[in-house]
Amino acid sequence: MFLFTILLCLPVIGNDSCEYLLSSGRFLGEKVWQPHSCMMHKYKISEAKNCLVDKHIAFIGDSRIRQLFYSFVKIINPQFKEEGNKHENIPFEDETASVKVDFLWHPEVNGSMKQCIKVWTEDSVAKPHVIVAGAATWSIKIHNGSNEALSQYKMNITSIAPLLEKLAKTSDVYWVLQDPVYEDLLSENRKMITNEKIDAYNEAAVSILNSSTRNSKSNVKMFSVSKLIAQETIMESLDGLHLPESSRETSAMILMNVCCNKILKPVDGSCCQPRPPLTLIQKLAACFFTLSIVGYLIFYIIHCNAHRKNKPCTDLESGEEKKNIISTPVSPLEILLQSFCKLGLIMAYFYMCDRANLFMKENKFYTHSSFFIPIIYILVLGVFYNENTKEFLPVYMHIRVLVAAYLFQTGYGHFSYFWIKGDFGIHRVCQTYSIWASSCKNKAECNELHPSVSVIQLFICQYHIWLAADTRGVLVLIPGNPMLNIMVSTFIFVCVAHEISQITNDLAQIIIPKDNSSLLKRLACIAAFFCGLLILSSIQDKSRH
C-alpha cells in the first residue's frame, strides 16, 4: 500500500517537449547534447530522406545560417561540399527523394529579405514547408555597432513579423537567435560584434516575434537552443564567430528532430512526439483491471461492514490477536481480485511511464556513479526488505540482473531493439507469466522457481519504469537532478518488482490447481486467451498500416 501512495503522489509532468527541444538542454560529457526532458533521435540518411520526401526547406539569413544549412544538408547527403560562393544563394536538391533545400543569402533584415518572404506568402507553390531564418551580426558589423542600427533592426523585424506569422500558419517557421561570439578571437574588422550587442538584438527579435497576440501564442518558433550550444563550444571556434563543426551538427540534428519526430515517430526520439493512440488490447486491459478494482472495492466494503459487526465482541475480549484471526479468512476470489487490482495499478503506472509521454525521458549516458549508485542502493533496500518483512528477496539476483542489463543494452542494443520493438507492453508481461505458469505444476516447485521468475519480472519492469522507450533512454521523474532521479526511480523499481513477485505468487496459488486434468483445461483456456490477444493485436497492426 505504501507503494501505491507513492505512485499516486507522483507529480504529473506533461509538457510540450517540442518547446524544450528548441529552447533548453545541457551537454552530457563532451559532445552529447541532452534536451531538457526528452530524447533526441540521431537521424540516418535513409530516415532523413524518408521524412523529407517531396519537401522544400529554405534557410534564409547570414553566414551562420549558411553553416546550419550545410550541416542540415549533410544529414541527407554527407558528400555535399561546402564550396558554394560565400555571398550567394546555394541550392541543394536530392533527386531520389525529391527533397529541396535552399540557402538564401540575406544577411540583413532589409527590403530584400522582406521581398523574398512576401513572395512566399503570395505564392502557395513556391512556399517552403520549413523556413529557418536569422540575421543580425552583419548589421552590427556594417553599422559599426551603432544604436541607430539597432532601432532600424527593430523596425525592420516589425515589418516582416506579420509576413512570417502568416507563413507560420501553414509552414514551420523558425527564427534562429544569434549565437554568442568569442570576443578575444574576433578579427579587427569584427571587433564591434560584442556579446552585449548580440544580446540586445536577440532581445529585440524575441520581443517582436515571440509576442502573443490576442491570447494566442505566436506561431513563429524561436530556435534559441543553438545559443546554449554555442555558449559551451564557441571557445573552440576558429574565428570567434563561426561555430565548430560538431555544434553545428547538433543544431542541425535538433532541427531534424523538430521536423521529423512527429512524422517518423522513432522509439528513441521522444521529443516533439504526439501521444500514441490507445490500442484495443490496452483498452480491454484497462476495462478488465477497472472491473477488478471495482470488484475488490465491493468485497472490501462488505468485509469492513462484517468486521464492524464483529467489533464489539473482539473489543470485549480485548484481543488484538483475536481480531487478526477473525479478519484473516478470505475467499480465493477476493485474493484474485486483490491481485488483479494491484496488477492493474502497476500496469497503469507502466503505461504512464512507457507510452503516455506523461513523464519525461532522457537519453542514457553512462557515468560510473549512475552505474554503482543503484547497485549499492538496491543492496540497502534489499536489507531493509529482509528485516522488515522477513521475506526472501533475491538481492543478489537484482545485482546480477543490473549487470546483465547493462551488458545487454550495450552489447545487444540492436538485438533488443528488434526483439522488444512495438506495442508489447501488456502482453509481453502476460506471455512471461503464461510460460512460467505452464512450466510449474504444484506449489513446491513454484517456490523453487520463484527466484528465476523474479529475474524475469525485474527484467520486464526495468524496461518500463527505470529505463524508457524500449531501453533507449532513462525515465525522468525528477528533472534537473539525475542522482535523486536514479534514487527515486530505483526505489519504485524495487517496490514494483517486489509487489509483482507477490502478486504472481498469489495468482499462481489460485490459478494453478492441484490435479493434472483441471490444470490442463485451465492451461488450454489461458493459451486460447493469449492466442485471441495475439490475433487481435495483429489485426490491429494490419489495419493501422
Ligand X SMILES: *[C@@H]1O[C@H](CO)[C@@H](O)[C@H](O)[C@H]1NC(C)=O
x-marked contacts with ligand X along 105-124 as a string, rule CB under 6 A: --xxxxxx------------
In whole angstroms, how close is the CB of 209 to ligand X at the nearest point?
9
| Nearest residue to 469 via CA among 346, 361, 352 | 361
Among 24, 50, 63, 152, indicate the residue that binds ligand X (CB under 6 A). Answer: 152
Grid coordinates of 346? 502497476
Among 34, 67, 178, 224, indicate the residue that binds ligand X (CB under 6 A). Answer: 224
State the angle between helix axes of 280-316 and 425-438 in degrees (0 to 180), rounded to the nearest 10: 60
- Span of 48-56, 152-160, 256-264, 494-502 interacting with ligand X by CB under 6 A: 152-160
Instruction: Tell me, yes or no, if 545 is annotated catalytic.
Output: no
Cβ-contact 71, 249 below 8 angstroms: yes
Site membership for ligand X, residue 60 (CB under 6 A)? no
Residue nearest to ligand X (CB): 111
Among 5, 85, 124, 144, indicate the residue that binds ligand X (CB under 6 A). Answer: 144
Q: What distance in Å separates the CA atoms of residue 528 and residue 516, rounded to the nearest whole number?
A: 18
Site membership for ligand X, residue 462 (CB under 6 A)? no
* Between 121 and 210, CB nearer to ligand X: 210
| Nearest residue to 303 via CA among 337, 334, 336, 332 | 334
Between β-strands 473-476 and 467-468, what pairing exists: parallel, antiparallel or unpaired? antiparallel
* Between 207 and 518, CB nearer to ligand X: 207
* Between 106 and 498, CB nearer to ligand X: 106
Tell me how many residues contact ligand X (CB under 6 A).
Answer: 21
In whole angstroms, how close is the CB of 138 to ligand X at the nearest point?
6
Instruction: Tell me, yes or no, if 239 is annotated catalytic.
Output: yes
In whole angstroms, how close is the CB of 356 to ligand X at the nearest point?
23
Instruction: Tell me, yes or no, if 242 is annotated catalytic.
Output: yes
In whole angstroms, how close is the CB of 109 to ligand X at the nearest point?
5
* Between 24 and 509, CB nearer to ligand X: 24
**Interface residues for ligand X in 16-45 (CB under 6 A)?**
23
Q: Reduce the DSSP state of residue 62 to 3 states and report it.
A: coil
Catalytic position from the list 24, 143, 199, 242: 242
* Between 45 and 192, CB nearer to ligand X: 192
Spatial neighbors of 133 by CB under 8 A, at least 6 apart, are: 59, 60, 61, 65, 164, 173, 174, 175, 176
Counting Cα atoms < 13 Å in the Cβ hemisphere of 212 gives 4
In whole angstroms, how close is the CB of 151 to ligand X at the nearest point?
8
Indicate the DSSP class of residue 79. Answer: T
State the angle between helix axes of 45-52 and 245-264 in degrees (0 to 180), rounded to the nearest 10: 50
In whole angstroms, how close is the CB of 358 to ligand X at the nearest point?
21
Catalytic position from the list 112, 151, 211, 239: 239
* Between 149 and 347, CB nearer to ligand X: 149
Helix (H) or strand (E) holding 468: strand 467-468
* Between 150 and 467, CB nearer to ligand X: 150
Cβ-contact 503, 343 below 8 angstroms: yes
Among 77, 121, 210, 409, indicate the residue that binds ligand X (CB under 6 A). Answer: 210
Q: Reduce the DSSP state of residue 313 to 3 states and report it.
A: helix
**Interface residues for ligand X in 78-107 (CB under 6 A)?**
107
Catalytic position from the list 23, 63, 146, 370: 63
In one letter, which amino acid is 287? C
Among 222, 281, 474, 476, indicate the residue that binds ligand X (CB under 6 A). Answer: 222
Q: Reduce the DSSP state of residue 82 to 3 states and report it.
A: coil
| Nearest residue to 395 via CA among 483, 494, 315 | 494
Grid coordinates of 433? 507469466
Q: What distance in Å separates the CA atoms of residue 87 and residue 424, rounded to the nearest whole number?
A: 53
Grid coordinates of 399? 545485482
Among 31, 42, 44, 217, indicate the residue that binds ligand X (CB under 6 A). Answer: 217
In one letter, which amino acid is 326? I
- CA distance from start to end of the chain: 42
In whole angstroms, how close is the CB of 225 to ligand X at the nearest point?
9
In whole angstroms, how close is the CB of 148 to ligand X at the nearest point?
8
- Span of 32-40, 206-214, 247-255, 473-481 interacting with ligand X by CB under 6 A: 206-214
Cβ-contact 419, 470 below 8 angstroms: no
Grid coordinates of 107? 544577411
Residues near ligand X (CB under 6 A): 23, 107-112, 139, 144-145, 149, 152-153, 156, 192, 206, 210, 212, 217, 222, 224
Instruction: Return the active site residues.
Output: 63, 239, 242
